[in-house]
Structure 1
């Protein structure tokens, strides 16, 4: 045990945040899975143990990811992109359909499935970090830099948006932030945003889930005129938050878990506020803000452009997803299928989130080792001299 603790490197605050989120996840999921256990005809403890196994598996993956030098992810990113694009196509055609959306691929022989969009987020962010860091000398060259980068962003966006618009929009937003940090010109960023807007319009009005997207937008914009069945989830999330008060009803005393669909996943923040009150909700917001703060410190201290862009992209992705989930719960956005990172019950999504945490920790681990930074700078100077 002491040997493992000795080998744990990276930002200690991020490790603490992961532990806190794991504990919050176990408590809130345990409160929210009663109805799910009843529907499946199993005990609550059975589902909780599976969730605990996923958390432990995620932490193991995080440990392995943080031990790998983050520079290796530069080469891995190309392979991930080669795998991701065909997988997204395959998911749209042959993936499992849940709630009229084809987002999942079954893993043969395991009984598990995963959302290819989770892999796509990791692949695109690492690929953008690699491309932007390697093309800094000719970053404004349209043919050499802009077209390949824009093509990757728009391709992944449209393939995800056809089945999962909310995830696609968040990933597109993170990509634009990386383009800004990576010194892409304002004109080229504007072209990327225009292309994204055109694709978005096409998905909303012509895509296979156009009725669902239009209905959700209409329900959000005009809740008073919405069909009660359409606003059911949003209404009960608001009830959960309103009845939680300042201090909450107490652990395990939520009433809305019996009504809210996906209370253990998409709407888990509403359950947390109902049971732990406004104070619990604010504390959770503070944890994610502190995570963003620690990640920004890593970005500013990273000696290499690739490490800085990688940590920035992954941290923005995690925090934007967290605040999108909480915004939906309190009624600041239309209903989406976005889980709360490392808190919502989920299978492979938690594992991919853990890998993202591990990569951020790998960058911070490199910052903590001054010898590696000096050696890296000497090698880079030598390479430039040789060139």
Structure 2
């Protein structure tokens, strides 16, 4: 009974809810299997069950975030994006100077909250706030002709500030965010020639950044540039002497999986592959579940993408459409990038597999974005429900009117005498006499 009550409180697109639940449930097996690398590593205690419980707690918290966020009217996020963007800039600046390293990476991308010891990647929050900000601006100016100067000041300067603060520590996230912003602008019917101007400015700015890194090689802000170049040229990693170690281990895992896989928990490369439970978890999935398992996971993400398209099409406001596209599409592209890295189609980027890879802040930010998307679909569901209820009320009112008319006719008919028929009209008989 409680389960039915809980499900009745879940509003919005039930298909999206189902896909999220499937991805979350599937994640437990590969995370539990791949966590042996962490449990028996240098800093591990040999307790793999602890990592599974931790992953369960992260997912549980994530779905609570979805539930809470999907109850908030999504148009409130218009204001939240404007207020949140300066706050995000402050967090990104703080991360540049006070950020911490996690997982052995040489990039300071995480900010640790004092007293509670929780670390989160500030670029994940920045991406969500920035996408909503862009959607808000484009929906506001859709019916008004916009000059490039006006849009550059109000739209692109905030975008470039945000990306510039993320770029020194995380090129892949910066590039993904820029591509997504351009895509949102295209969908929002921002003029193509203006998009061309912005892309030219972005490429010029990146070249200037790389040139400054060569001029000041000892600066902390340019320490990642050589790593980017190495990854692009060799598909390498962060650590010197291990340029191809991760990708070779991932390819070995995929090749070992064949068609049906080695079986759950029987991965061999999990003991050797760094980040096997996060960045390279797709390789472990293919090794244990084979090509079939890999295609099933890919299919789930593509079906989720298709559902996002339907949700965007059904949205009754331009802001709702752009919010679904701006928050839903990056999640799918992130998943595709993670899979492409595992099969060496792309250089190592550090992008996790949404809802499947282990990690706290990445799961929570993903769930926050999904909560907003479901919020939009909930609004459409409420409108549809209101229309159905209005139709039922109108039908009930019409039946009541029909019944009243029938009752009135039955009440009037016995007194409807004819003057010509004296047998039925007593007054006529008196007159005739």
Counterpart of 1:16? Answer: 18
Counterpart of 2:228? Answer: 213
Give 1:371 deviation, angstroms.
6.1
Task: Judge conservation of contact 2:235–2:243 (CA < 8 Å) in 1.
Answer: no
Task: Judge conservation of contact 2:36–2:46 (CA < 8 Å) in 1.
Answer: no
The yes-or-no answer on 1:64 pairing with 2:64 is: no
Give 1:372 deviation, angstroms.
8.4
The yes-or-no answer on 1:95 pairing with 2:95 is: no
Task: Judge conservation of contact 2:37–2:276 (CA < 8 Å) in 1.
Answer: no
Task: Identify the structure with the greater helix proportion.
Answer: 1
Task: Judge conservation of contact 2:73–2:375 (CA < 8 Å) in 1.
Answer: yes
The yes-or-no answer on 1:270 pairing with 2:280 is: no
Paired residues for 1:161-172 under 5 Å: 161-172=167-178
The yes-or-no answer on 1:112 pairing with 2:118 is: yes
Give 1:373 deviation, angstroms.
8.3
Task: Judge conservation of contact 1:322–1:340 (CA < 8 Å) in 2.
Answer: yes
Give 1:220 deviation, angstroms.
2.8
Tell me, which stretches of 5 or more residues in structure 2 are unaligned?
Answer: 214-221, 388-433
- Higher Cα Rg, which structure: 2
| Cα distance in 1, alignment partners of residues 88 and 248 from structure 2 | 36
The yes-or-no answer on 1:190 pairing with 2:206 is: no
Counterpart of 1:37? Answer: 39
Task: Judge conservation of contact 1:366–1:372 (CA < 8 Å) in 2.
Answer: no
Structure 1 length as normaliser, TM-score? 0.92
Counterpart of 1:236? Answer: 249
Match of 2:350 among 329, 337, 359: 337
Tell me, which stretches of 5 or more residues in structure 1 are unaligned?
Answer: 375-387
Give 1:297 deviation, angstroms.
0.6
Give 1:218 deviation, angstroms.
1.6
Counterpart of 1:283? Answer: 296
Question: Structure 1 segments of 4 or more deviating over 3 A?
Answer: 202-205, 371-374
Match of 2:89 among 81, 85, 89: 85
| Cα distance in 2, alignment partners of residues 28 and 199 from structure 1 | 41
Paired residues for 1:289-308 under 5 Å: 289-308=302-321
Match of 1:143 among 140, 144, 149: 149
SS state of the match for residue 136, structure 1?
Answer: coil
Task: Judge conservation of contact 1:139–1:146 (CA < 8 Å) in 2.
Answer: no
| Cα distance in 1, alignment partners of residues 159 and 301 from structure 2 | 26
| Cα distance in 1, alignment partners of residues 327 and 344 from structure 2 | 26
| Cα distance in 2, alignment partners of residues 247 and 273 from structure 1 | 9
Counterpart of 2:404? Answer: none
Give 1:42 deviation, angstroms.
4.4
Task: Judge conservation of contact 2:107–2:169 (CA < 8 Å) in 1.
Answer: yes
Tell me: CA distance 1:372–1:132, structure 2 relative to 1, closer, same or farther (3 Å): farther
Q: CA RMSD in A?
A: 1.8
More off after superposition, 297-306 vs 228-237: 228-237
| Cα distance in 1, alignment partners of residues 270 and 134 from structure 2 | 40
| Cα distance in 1, alignment partners of residues 289 and 205 from structure 2 | 41
Counterpart of 1:309? Answer: 322
Give 1:154 deviation, angstroms.
1.5
Counterpart of 1:381? Answer: none
Tell me: CA distance 1:214–1:310, structure 2 relative to 1, closer, same or farther (3 Å): same
Counterpart of 1:48? Answer: 52
Counterpart of 2:162? Answer: 156
Give 1:145 deviation, angstroms.
2.5
Q: How many residues align?
A: 371
Task: Judge conservation of contact 1:204–1:213 (CA < 8 Å) in 2.
Answer: no
Can you list the C-alpha shifts for 1:124-179, whole angstroms capped at 9, x where unaligned?
Answer: 01111111111223353223333321112212122112101111111111100000
Tell me: CA distance 1:373–1:158, structure 2 relative to 1, closer, same or farther (3 Å): farther
More off after superposition, 117-126 vs 210-219: 210-219
Match of 1:200 among 197, 206, 209: 206
